[in-house]
Amino acid sequence: MSTEVLTPPTVTNGVNVTAMKEVISAVQANPEIGKFNFRLKNSWIEGDRNRSTIKDFTGALTTHRADGKAFVFENGEHQVLLGRDEAPNPVEWVLHALIGCMTTTTAYHCAARGIEVGAIDSEVDGDLDLRGFLGLSDKVRKGYSQIRVRMRVQTEAPAETIKAITDMSPVKDVVGRSVPIDVSVETY
Amino acid sequence: MSTEVLTPPTVTNGVNVTAMKEVISAVQANPEIGKFNFRLKNSWIEGDRNRSTIKDFTGALTTHRADGKAFVFENGEHQVLLGRDEAPNPVEWVLHALIGCMTTTTAYHCAARGIEVGAIDSEVDGDLDLRGFLGLSDKVRKGYSQIRVRMRVQTEAPAETIKAITDMSPVKDVVGRSVPIDVSVETY
The yes-or-no verdict on residue B171 having pLDDT over 60 is: yes
pLDDT in tens, A139-183: 999 999 999 999 999 999 999 999 999 999 999 999 999 999 999
Would you call A100 and B52 a contact, using CB atoms and an 8 Å cutoff?
A: yes
Would you call A88 and B80 a contact, using CB atoms and an 8 Å cutoff?
A: no
* E strands, A34-180, in order: 35-46, 49-54, 57-59, 62-64, 71-75, 117-129, 146-155
Percentage of the residues of chain B whose pLDDT score is greater than 90: 95
pLDDT for A4 equals 64
**Closest chain B C-alpha to A181 CA, distance in angstroms:** 12
Residues whose CB falls within 8 Å of the CB of residue A106, separated by 6 or more in sequence, listed in order: A117, A120, A151, A153, A162, A165, A166, B44
Would you call A95 and B34 a contact, using CB atoms and an 8 Å cutoff?
A: no
DSSP state string for A1-40 = ------PPPPEETTEEHHHHHHHHHHHHH-GGGGEEEEEE
In the predicted model, what is the mean pLDDT of residues B32-57?
98
Would you call A170 and B128 a contact, using CB atoms and an 8 Å cutoff?
A: yes
**Closest chain B C-alpha to A68 CA, distance in angstroms:** 10
Would you call A97 and B117 a contact, using CB atoms and an 8 Å cutoff?
A: no
Closest B-chain CA to A28:
B136
Nearest to B121 by CA among A41, A125, A148, A27: A41
Using DSSP bridges, classify how beta strands A146-155 and A181-187 pair: parallel, antiparallel or unpaired. parallel
Chain B residues in contact with A67 (beta carbon < 8 A)? none
Would you call B173 and A174 a contact, using CB atoms and an 8 Å cutoff?
A: no
Q: Give the Å distances, CA to CA, from B170 to A179, B35, B106.
A: 12, 14, 12
pLDDT in tens, B68-77: 889 999 999 9
DSSP state string for B103-128 = HHHHHHHHHHTT--EEEEEEEEEEEE
**Closest chain A C-alpha to B45 CA, distance in angstroms:** 8
Would you call A90 and B170 a contact, using CB atoms and an 8 Å cutoff?
A: yes
pLDDT for A69 equals 84
Q: Which residues of chain B from 23 to 52 reach within 8 Å of chain A, CB to CB?
A: 23-24, 27-28, 31, 33-44, 46-50, 52
By the 8 A CB rule, do B35 and A129 touch?
A: yes
Report residue B3's pLDDT band, with 50, 70 and 90 as the boundaries: low
What ipTM was predicted for this assembly? 0.97
**Collapsed DSSP state (helix, strand, coil) of residue A178:** coil
Residues whose CB falls within 8 Å of the CB of residue B123, separated by 6 or more in sequence, listed in order: A39, A40, A41, A42, B149, B150
Would you call A99 and B40 a contact, using CB atoms and an 8 Å cutoff?
A: yes
**Collapsed DSSP state (helix, strand, coil) of residue A158:** coil
DSSP state string for chain B = ------PPPPEETTEEHHHHHHHHHHHHH-GGGGEEEEEEEEEEEETTEEEEEE--EEETTEEESSSSPPEEEEE---GGGTS--SS--HHHHHHHHHHHHHHHHHHHHHHHTT--EEEEEEEEEEEEEHHHHHTS-TTS-SS-SEEEEEEEEEESS-HHHHHHHHTT-HHHHHHHTTS-EEEEEEE-
Report residue B4's pLDDT band, with 50, 70 and 90 as the boundaries: low
Would you call B129 and A169 a contact, using CB atoms and an 8 Å cutoff?
A: no
Q: What is the CATH T-level fold of the domain B89-177, as seen in this structure?
A: GMP Synthetase; Chain A, domain 3 (3.30.300)
pLDDT in tens, B84-102: 999 999 999 999 999 999 9
pLDDT for A5 equals 73
**Is B18 touching A (CB cutoff 8 A)?**
no
What's the pTM value of the predicted model, to 2 decimals?
0.97
d(CA B141, CA B133): 8
**Is A84 touching B (CB cutoff 8 A)?**
no
With residue A98 as reference, give the H or E element that holds it. helix A90-112
Report the first-to-last Cα separation within chain B, whole angstroms.
Answer: 51
Cα atoms in the 13 Å half-sphere on the side-chain side of A172: 23
Residues whose CB falls within 8 Å of the CB of residue B152, separated by 6 or more in sequence, listed in order: B119, B120, B121, B122, B185, B186, B187, B188
Q: Which residues of chain B from 150 to 179 reach within 8 Å of chain A, CB to CB?
A: 168-179
Instruction: Report domain extents, chain A.
Output: 34-88, 89-177
**Closest chain B C-alpha to A1 CA, distance in angstroms:** 30
Q: Which residues of chain B from 98 to 137 reach within 8 Å of chain A, CB to CB?
A: 98-101, 103-108, 117, 119-136
Mean pLDDT for all residues in chain A: 96
Give the pLDDT of chain A (188 residues) as one tens digit per residue: 455 678 899 999 999 999 999 999 999 999 999 999 999 999 999 999 999 999 999 999 999 999 888 999 999 999 999 999 999 999 999 999 999 999 999 999 999 999 999 999 999 999 999 999 999 999 999 999 999 999 999 999 999 999 999 999 999 999 999 999 999 999 99
Would you call A132 and B173 a contact, using CB atoms and an 8 Å cutoff?
A: yes
